[in-house]
Chains A and B, each alone.
Chain A
Amino acid sequence: MRINPRIVDAAAKVGLSGQAFFTVGILIVIVAIICVKGLPYVNMEFIVSSPEDMGRHGGIFSAIIGTGLLAFLSILFATPLGVGTAIFLTEYTKESAFTKMIRFGVESLAGIPSILYGLFGFIFFVIKLGMGWSLLAGVLTMTIMILPTIIRTSEEAIKSVPRNLRIVSYSLSATKWETVTKVVLPAAAPGILTGIMLSVGRAVGETAAVIFTMGSSLRLPTSLMDSGRTMAVHFYILAREGISMEKAYATALVLVFSILFINVIAYYIMNKVTSRYS
């Protein structure tokens, strides 16, 4: 029996839209659960006081600082490297075997799962280079991990800068580097910023690579050689060892909202950019 194509068509539309809204529903449910369970325990004191008794009492101040330091320092290292690579790939070479090799490297780095970054950071930075579980080891591991994101988004952003801008700059007798720094990069800045924000989000949410390189010390890191704990690691330990469900939900709330906030800013910037040149 042949079913009327119009009926199939209508059913497909209902099914597909239902699926799309169901998926968005998952996000909403996750955020809602965390809000409902976490909000009662989040207050100013929770944010500004340090954890006590393994996190059973007190707040998550040291974890917030640990997260912030890890994200900030990784970005500090990865941004020049990543943007430099993107400039090299787009402005300084033609497509060749060499750029293909670099692209292969970037794609491969992007595909390596975080636990392998953790394994590498552990053996290389923590043990072979003798850094121990430290902020520095965490930062260097995270730098490599977020590099592909920054390279890709910067490359996209630089490519979307209209050719005319460059031609005008050259016609004013600017050198290549002057054109890049004074014309191309300012025009590509919002797109690059999107990549940076997405990378911050990744660094904030990461656990597997961080726990084996930065360790999980609850004390406030005061030097690069100190171990520290990020919010994600703190949350994992609270939940896994059943230390305190209330504190776990509260930490999850701060963690998830920090990431959502960072990502929303990233998409906002990206939307501004895409509407600019189209």
Chain B
Amino acid sequence: MIKKSFTKENFVKWVLTAFALSSLLFLFLIFAFILFEGLPLFLKIGLSKIIAGFKWAPTKGSFGIFPMIVSSFLVTFGALIIGAPMGLSCAIYLSEYSGKRMKMFLKPALELLAGIPSVVYGFLGVIYIVPLVRNYLGGSGFSLLSTSIILGVMILPTIISISFDALTSVPRTYREGSFAMGATKWQTIYRVVIPSAKSGILASFILGMGRAIGETMAVIMIAGNALRIPVSILDPLRTLTGNIALELAYATGDHRLGLFSTGVVLLVIIMILNYIANFGIKRKVIK
């Protein structure tokens, strides 16, 4: 009897270990297959001709994705310029000002923004933001600016929820100490709470960047997808994600390999951002 349940326990433990390992296996498979398809072209064409090349003409043997790398970072920083102050303000209001009831309403409402599918953001961007930019600022409207605005809104839930966690984990005593010195609420937030939550807030920005740089469907709808480096905020651009999504359905041969090379570059950027956010910064939060 005892022996039987012992073996069953062992069996369960093995099965659960296998389940837990599946995540690592999936991660390995994703890396393996994207690298396996993407790397040959780096060897054949040369790393510098791909990541520093200016011309993307995959059917004619040019696989330069430098403009897309630059564009991806431009829209990401644009999104951050718009989303970071907005998101942080919301997080501060939620953690420091709002009452319990207000929080019960606001927090789920803000998190629901994350549930709106990216195609819907893209569509509304095309219908409302693009004409606005075209009519008031000029250009076609399919631009760095329009894309940054939509992406800025899309990364809000990430920034809000992670900054909020960082702000609420600042001990109460810090605030009480500051109030006891005669500081106002804003002085307390600005001088005590935000500096204490600094690393968590930074992590929220970096994870927001990760979301923005990986966003695809909304971007291909609004960005205009032009194959050059934008020189003004009203110029159209094509991101790494957009390049993959626009051409994957019909690409064959080296052209398809080129899209996987684009994927490799994207994967590397994303892994670096995630590593910084999860391990480079968060470690300091846990005291």
Hey, which bits of chain A sit against chain B, CB under 8 A? 5-6, 8-9, 12-13, 15-17, 19-20, 22-24, 26-27, 30, 33-34, 80-81, 84-85, 87-89, 92, 101-102, 105-109, 111-120, 122-124, 128, 144, 147-148, 151, 175-177, 201, 204-208, 211-212, 232, 235-236, 239-240, 248, 252, 255-256, 259-260, 262-264, 267, 271
Interface residues of B (CB under 8 A from A): 5, 8-9, 12-13, 15-17, 19-24, 26-27, 29-30, 33-34, 37, 86, 89-90, 92-94, 96-98, 104, 106, 108-113, 115-120, 122-124, 126, 128, 153, 156, 160, 183-187, 189-190, 207, 210-211, 213-217, 221, 241, 244-245, 248-249, 259-260, 263, 266-267, 270-271, 273-274, 277-278
Residues of A within 8 Å of B21, CB to CB, are 102
Task: Decide if A84 touches B113 in the complex (CB within 8 Å).
Answer: no
Whether A6 pairs with B184 at a CB distance below 8 angstroms is yes
The distance in angstroms between the C-alpha atoms of A120 and B23, with both chains bound, is: 15
Contact A16 B249 (CB under 8 A): no
Give Cα A34–Cα B116 distance, bound, in whole angstroms: 11
Cross-chain contact A123 with B37 (CB below 8 angstroms): yes
- Do B249 and A239 touch across chains, with their CB atoms under 8 A apart? no
Chain B residues positioned under 8 Å from A87 (CB to CB): 16
**Structural contact, B267 and A101, CB atoms closer than 8 A:** no
Given contacts A177-B9, A177-B12, A263-B112, 14 further A-B contacts (CB under 8 A): A13-B97, A16-B89, A23-B110, A85-B22, A85-B23, A88-B19, A89-B20, A106-B23, A111-B270, A116-B263, A176-B12, A204-B117, A207-B216, A264-B108
Q: Which residues of A contact B110 (CB under 8 A)?
A: 20, 23-24, 27
Q: Are A24 and B109 in contact (CB under 8 A)?
A: yes
- A144/B26 contact (C-beta < 8 A), A17-B93, A119-B248 known: yes
How long is the Cα–Cα vector from A11 to B126 in the complex, in angstroms? 35
Q: List 5 contacting pairs A-B, 8 Å CB cutoff, sorted by A.
A: A12-B189, A23-B160, A119-B259, A147-B26, A263-B111
Nearest CB of chain A from residue B202's CB, rounded to whole Å: 16
How far, in Å, is A103 (CB) from chain B's closest CB? 9
On whether the beta carbons of B214 and A232 are closer than 8 Å, the reply is no
Which 4 pairs show the lowest CB-CB distances between chains A and B? A113-B214, A205-B117, A84-B19, A19-B89
With A23-B86, A23-B90 already in contact, the answer to whether A124 and B29 are too (CB < 8 A) is yes
Contacts of A208 in B (CB 8 A): 118, 216-217, 241, 245
* Cβ B123 vs Cβ A248 within 8 A: yes
A102-B21, A147-B23 are contacts. A124–B214 as well, Cβ < 8 Å? no
Q: Using Cβ atoms and an 8 Å threshold, which residues of chain B touch A212? A: 248-249
A240 to B221, CA, bound (A): 7
How far, in whole Å, are A56 and B25 apart by their CA atoms in the complex? 43
Q: Give every chain B residue within 8 A of A122 (Cβ-Cβ).
A: 248
Tell me the smallest distance from the CB of A252 to a CB of chain B, in Å: 6
Contacts of A148 in B (CB 8 A): 23
CA separation between A240 and B125, bound complex, in Å? 12
CA gap between A85 and B108 in the complex, in Å? 27
Determine whether the beta carbon of A5 is less than 8 Å from that of B116. Answer: no
| Contact present for B19 and A80 (CB under 8 Å) | yes
Residues of A within 8 A of B186 (CB): 5, 8-9, 12-13
Interface centre among B26, B93, B156 (most CB of A within 10 A): B26
Q: Which residues of chain A come closer than 8 Å to B20, judged between CB atoms?
A: 84-85, 88-89, 102
Cβ-closest chain B residue relative to A174: B5
Smallest Cβ-Cβ distance to B160: which chain A residue: A23
**A201 to B115, Cβ gap below 8 A?**
yes
Bound: A257/B190 CA distance, A:
39
CB A147 to nearest CB in B, in angstroms, measures 6
